[in-house]
Amino acid sequence: MAELTYNEKRLMVVLNTIKEATPDIIAGELNTTAAAVVQFAHLCADKGIATLDRTVTVSYSLSTEGEQYATLGLPERQVYASFQNEISMKDMQAHPLARIAIGWMKKKGWVIIEKGLVKKTGDAPEGADEVALRDPDANREGVLELVKRGLAEEAETTTYLIAITETGKALVKAGLDLREEVGTLTREQILSGDWKDLNLRRYSVDKLPKRIIPGKIHPYQRLINEMRNVLLEMGFIEMYGDVVQSSFWNFDALFQPQDHPAREMQDTFYLDSTTPLPENWEAVRDIHEHGGTTSSVGWGGIWDPAKAKTNVLRTHTTGLSIQYLKDHPYEPVKAFCIGRVYRREAIDPTHTPEFEQLEGIVMDKDVSFRHLMGFLKEFYGRMGFENVRFRPAYFPYTEPSVEPEVFVDGLGWVELGGAGIFREEVTDPWGVKYPVLAWGLGVSRVAMLKMGLRDLRQLYRSDVDWIRDTPMMQGGKD
Amino acid sequence: MPIIKLPYEYLETLTGTDRETIIDRVPMIGADIERIEEDHIDVEFFPDRPDLFSTEGVARAMQGFLGLKSGINEYPITPSGISFRVDPGLAEIRPFLGSAVIRNVSLNEEAIESLMGLQEALHWAVGRGRGKVAIGVHDLDTVTPPFYYQAAPRDRAFVPLDFAEEMTMEEILEHHPKGVNFAHLVRDYERFPLITDAEDNVLSFPPIINGERTKVTTETKNILLDCTGTDMKAVMTAVNNICTALADAGATIESVEVDGTPMPSLSPSIRMVSVDECRRLLGIPLTAEEMVAHLRTMRFGAVADGEEKVRVTVPCYRSDIMHDWDIFEDVAISYGFENFDAALPESFTTGKPHPVMVMMDGVREILAGLGFLEMMPFTLTNVRVLYTAMQREINPGLLRLQRPISEEQTVMRTDILPMLVETLQINHHRELPQRLFAIGDCVEGEDTFQKVATVSIHTEADFSEIYACADALMREMHIAYEIEESADPAFIPGRRADIIVDGKKTGVFGELNPDVIRAFELDAPVCAMEIDLRCVQGRPCL
């Protein structure tokens, strides 16, 4: 048998003396509440050392309205008494209780109604309900009728009777340790060594206390930080930049023609403001119009500076990369950023108008397309994607371009990001002498793969319980 | 991106190999297979490669890639004797015209479908939705040269394609499905573009619709091509792509004189490229002869000029070749991406996180330590959430989107706290207490800066709780601050305070006004704070 608590023991000692009693009586003995005694008794009953009998009694009392009628009589009795053998309906309706009474008088057979006259049948004995009205406990049938009419109320009273069993008696006879239980140790008890003699309350060790939720960094932010750490470990410097960018940096500097579909209003969030063109903007104009000093022929046509000044919410972070290269034109450069970008897309499970993009660039003497593949393999490998393959691709500002695919169990080859070498048309205006390897990827896509998300909105409009339940580590076996 | 339908039988006839080989290899020339069907595959090609928008063009590329044929195709041209006149009145409307005569076509249903698919893809990728270029193909034998491209009165009538009755051009814009779709391209001009023949028969109303008279059918033997537009280079890209596709299917091309200038030429352009530059860009060992072989595989003409130069003949349909590196990419594709020896360079560099990110990571650590859960709400929001529900005045630096995508997201946030209270609303059915924080970018005017906000909702959330948190955060950030009574209407008077750093208001905390709590459909006390992180010393300028 499980150990008894101090309170259970006290209850047993009292029961052993008085054998059986109500909780009220025992509560007096134990100097506690009746409710607490019932709780102790429950636990003792579970252990078979006491019994707890529960009796529910129903009692009735008159409602406020019922109390009124108790002295004056039911409405039908009052109205019945108010006329002789017959009365016209019209006259009877002058009585304030007529509306209630008429139905009941008919139902009870006290009157009949003929041609607008209410006639007594001569037979109106006292009913069970009227008996109950005098004393609600006197007539059960009658009182139920009154309950229906809202004239009486039913109340349940639960009473308990607690008794000791033979097992209980034997237990008490064998002797109980009645030293008071201690919950929390005091400084004195620890210092003096007294704690050894205390009756320390024992816990049910398998009973989980109320769950604690630690403060946490968002699972998506943790993934972003993991990616940042991979790149920092690989020797990259982190970039950060403004959300509002001029079309010049967001598009023109990346050799996106001014009539490119991606620049159209339905894809980009345009703003009312403009930004002056930076120094050396003419080099970008020349590149667009005829290829400038490179082997490019350019897009042809006339490049419009006004279009380039228009501000947008950045549609990618590549505009930051080219500005970083402008400020750091000498090799080696290894830089990255993870930032929020904006596209004019309606919200659904796989699209949000804002999302995080990762971007990395490497500029160095003698770097080449094969090194781009090397960086992609290394980065994806460190992110846990061991198998990477490459496919031809097209992006307006890289040449050659490549689309990395990673192998994911259960999904097969999954396209993950895009990469390439910045076109010379992109780098030449800023005095960059060597190839710039560049790659980018949608971070939310990695989140979907790594966290098994089906709905991107979960990242930005998170369910608190999802964050509470997402562990911070992957400590267990897969 | 354009999705091209490739019928197996036609593709097999043109390429000279079986469908399995094609399906297996086509992704490696730069394409995504969208669907594999019983009689065809749908393939998505990149928008810079209009030469792959037809079955004929894909067959030409696959022949090279599979080693069945190499080098550049010749496209001989003879004069047709047919001429075209362009009305100077079109100068402000749609000035440019490209044309060609394509003889001896043998068009089965699949070839016609391929031609129509090519036109549609060109309209999208090169024509920018027909504005920049629109294409018309006509049965030459139904009309009489010479032809006239003119600015015609809007009430000129003809029978448009797939209709039985004459309509005026104005009526076409109102009633013909193509007219309705593309009316915006011409609606504002006094006169409309029109192509007529010597007998004043209408061939086309560019860029809207052709006439029914010149409809191309399986009976058609000879084609007149018209491409009109606002950019001559793009117009000729369309002409070259259609002519070369049909020539590869067996037709012969004849030139047309447009205002005295014969076109098209279909002649290739020449680029002298450096083998060493290619080697260095791709990082692969390569001789001039190997490079020549790769380029011929990709259907360029190429001959070595000594050991370090290659003379490349670029087919007229390769409008994507703008720069020498565009040619090097084709060398890489022929070399095979799978054959590259991926490697990391040896330069030593050190990594360094950005100070703003370091600062935000620090704040995250402090707040997580204080028991808050991080949220990452959207930065786009609306005036109702940002100001109205918070009972606050609109920030004069508020950045509004010109054309929002929904009523929910019309402005860029200037504060984070309202988004966090909205997050509580989303989670109103979840167990309390909820203690949340969010940190990140806000924008005022054009400037991006960072804020952090926290909220705590539960039955006993009060001023003291949030004061203690604000104090802990400020202490841990090691920023000295003072407190003043606040007037922020989002909070309850007497239970709100401003955080002052260097004499400047930099944050606020307190108990949210119950009207604000109700505006977000919450029903428990909320204490909250928000701090502008521009107060952090050493925060770098962006």
Encoded tokens for A478: 């897969």
Residue B88 CA to its chain's centroid (Å): 34
Say if CB B346 and CB B371 are below 8 A apart.
no
Number of CB atoms found within 10 A of residue A415's CB: 14
What is the pLDDT averaged over residues B353-370? 95
Find, in chain B, the residue whose alpha carbon is nearest to that of A231: B351
What is the pLDDT averaged over residues B40-69? 90
Of the candidates B350, B356, B402, the beta carbon closest to that of A270 is on B402
Of the candidates A240, A345, A368, the beta carbon closest to that of B282 is on A368
Flag residues of chain A having pLDDT under 70: 1-2, 477-478
B34, containing H or E segment: strand B31-36
User: Where are the extended beta strands (E) located within A63-135?
Assistant: 86-88, 111-114, 117-120
Instruction: List the Cα angle B59/B60/B66 in 5-degree steps.
Output: 80
Q: Is B271 on the interface with A (CB under 8 A)?
A: yes
Select from B269, B378, B428 the residue whose CB has the most chain A CBs within 10 Å, as the one to mutate to test that interface: B378
Of the candidates A215, A294, A342, the beta carbon closest to that of B372 is on A215
Q: What is the pLDDT of residue B226?
A: 94
Say if CB A60 and CB A14 are below 8 A apart.
no
Residues B78-114 pLDDT 10s: 999 999 999 999 999 999 999 999 999 988 888 888 8
CB atoms A371 and B345 under 8 Å = yes
CB atoms A366 and B28 under 8 Å = no
Does residue B298 sit in helix, strand or coil?
Answer: coil
Instruction: List the Cα angle A215/A220/A222 in 5-degree steps.
Output: 60
Of the candidates A215, A234, A459, the beta carbon closest to that of B368 is on A215
Burial of residue A203 (CB within 10 Å: 0-12, 13-18, 19+) is exposed
Counting Cα atoms < 13 Å in the Cβ hemisphere of A205 gives 2
The crossing angle, in degrees rounded to 10, of helices B8-15 and B109-125 is: 90
Angstrom CA distances, A103 to A23, A128, A153, B226, stand at 49, 17, 23, 96
Q: How far is B438 from chain A (nearest CA, A)?
A: 9
Say if CB B459 and CB B525 are below 8 A apart.
yes
Encoded tokens for B260: 């005295």
Question: Is residue B207 reached through a cis peptide bond, with omega within 30 degrees of 0 on the bond before it?
Answer: yes
Confidence of residue B541 (pLDDT cuts 50, 70, 90): very low
Binding residues of A for Mg(2+): 399
Confidence of residue B141 (pLDDT cuts 50, 70, 90): very high
Residues of A in contact with B121 (CB under 8 A): none
Does residue A389 sit in helix, strand or coil?
Answer: strand
Q: What is the pLDDT of residue A477?
A: 67
Confidence of residue B542 (pLDDT cuts 50, 70, 90): very low
Instruction: List the Cα angle A360/A235/A438 in 5-degree steps.
Output: 20
Select from A313, A351, A391, A414 the residue whose CB has the most chain B CBs within 10 Å, as the one to mutate to test that interface: A391
Q: What is the pLDDT of residue A99?
A: 85
pLDDT at B19 > cutoff 90: no
Say if CB A129 and CB A74 are below 8 A apart.
yes
Residues A328-359 pLDDT 10s: 999 899 999 999 999 998 888 888 999 999 99
**Cα(A424)–Cα(A325) distance, rounded to whole angstroms?**
13
B498, containing H or E segment: strand B491-501
For A62-80, b/e burial (b = at least 16 CB within 10 A) is beeebeebbeebbbbbbbb
Q: How far is A360 from chain B (nearest CA, A)?
A: 12
CB atoms B430 and A369 under 8 Å = no
Q: What is the pLDDT of residue A175?
A: 84
What is the pLDDT averaged over residues B263-291? 95
CB atoms B345 and A362 under 8 Å = yes
Say if CB B335 and CB B445 are below 8 A apart.
no
Q: What is the pLDDT of residue A1?
A: 56
ipTM of this complex: 0.90
**Cα(B464)–Cα(B524) distance, rounded to whole angstroms?**
16
Find, in chain B, the residue whose alpha carbon is nearest to that of A213: B371
What is the pLDDT averaged over residues B160-166? 90
Residue B8 CA to its chain's centroid (Å): 30
Q: What is the pLDDT of residue A2?
A: 62
Angstrom CA distances, B429 to A200, A455, A459, B297, B453, stand at 40, 20, 19, 64, 22
CB atoms A370 and B323 under 8 Å = no
Residues of A in contact with B325 (CB under 8 A): 399-400, 421, 423-424
CB atoms B342 and A218 under 8 Å = no
CB atoms B405 and A345 under 8 Å = yes
Of the candidates A337, A346, A368, the beta carbon closest to that of B280 is on A368
DSSP category for residue A260: -
Q: Is B541 on the interface with A (CB under 8 A)?
A: no
Selection from A198, A166, A204 nearest residue A184 by Cα: A198
Written as one string, the DSSP assignment of A136-194 is: TTT-HHHHHHHHHTTSEEEEEEEEEEEEE-HHHHHHHHH----SPEESS--HHHHHHSG
Residue given tokens 């005095």 in the structure block: A431
**Cα(A257)–Cα(A396) distance, rounded to whole angstroms?**
9
Q: Is B286 on the interface with A (CB under 8 A)?
A: no
**Cα(B492)–Cα(B510) distance, rounded to whole angstroms?**
7
Q: How far is A69 from chain B (nearest CA, A)?
A: 45
Q: What is the pLDDT of residue B538?
A: 64
Of the candidates A231, A297, A374, the beta carbon closest to that of B344 is on A374
Of the candidates B329, B338, B435, the beta carbon closest to that of A400 is on B329
Q: What is the pLDDT of residue B539?
A: 58
What is the pLDDT averaged over residues B173-196? 91
Rounded to 10 degrees, the C-alpha dihedral A371/A373/A375/A379 comes to -170
Residues of B in contact with A366 (CB under 8 A): 280, 345
Beta strand B434-444 with A86-88 is: unpaired
Instruction: List the Cα angle A410/A414/A418 in 5-degree steps.
Output: 165
Residue A417, by phi and psi: left (phi above 0), alpha (psi -120 to 50) or beta? left
Say if CB B451 and CB B532 are below 8 A apart.
yes
Binding residues of B for Mg(2+): 320, 326, 329-330
Q: pTM for the whole thing?
A: 0.81
Residue A316, by phi and psi: left (phi above 0), alpha (psi -120 to 50) or beta? beta
CB atoms A461 and B426 under 8 Å = yes
Contacts of B516 (CB under 8 A, 6+ apart): B389, B390, B391, B421, B490
Angstrom CA distances, B142 to B215, B226, B534, stand at 9, 15, 75
Selection from A41, A4, A12 nearest residue A202 by Cα: A4
Selection from B315, B308, B281, B277 nearest residue A399 by Cα: B281
Does residue A118 sit in helix, strand or coil?
Answer: strand
Residues of B in contact with A391 (CB under 8 A): 27-28, 30, 337
Residues of A in contact with B412 (CB under 8 A): 243, 313
Encoded tokens for B191: 């006169």
Q: Is B34 on the interface with A (CB under 8 A)?
A: no
Selection from A221, A253, A230, A225 nearest residue A320 by Cα: A253
Residues of B in contact with A377 (CB under 8 A): 342
Residues B473-494 pLDDT 10s: 999 999 999 999 999 999 999 9
Q: What is the pLDDT of residue A88?
A: 86
Q: Is B353 on the interface with A (CB under 8 A)?
A: yes
The crossing angle, in degrees rounded to 10, of helices B275-282 and B288-297 is: 80
Find, in chain A, the residue whose alpha carbon is nearest to that of B324: A295
Contacts of A478 (CB under 8 A, 6+ apart): none
Q: Is B128 on the interface with A (CB under 8 A)?
A: yes
Confidence of residue B156 (pLDDT cuts 50, 70, 90): very high
Least confident of A259-263, B432-436, B521-525: A259-263
Does residue B228 sit in helix, strand or coil?
Answer: strand
CB atoms B435 and A215 under 8 Å = yes
Residue B404 CA to its chain's centroid (Å): 19
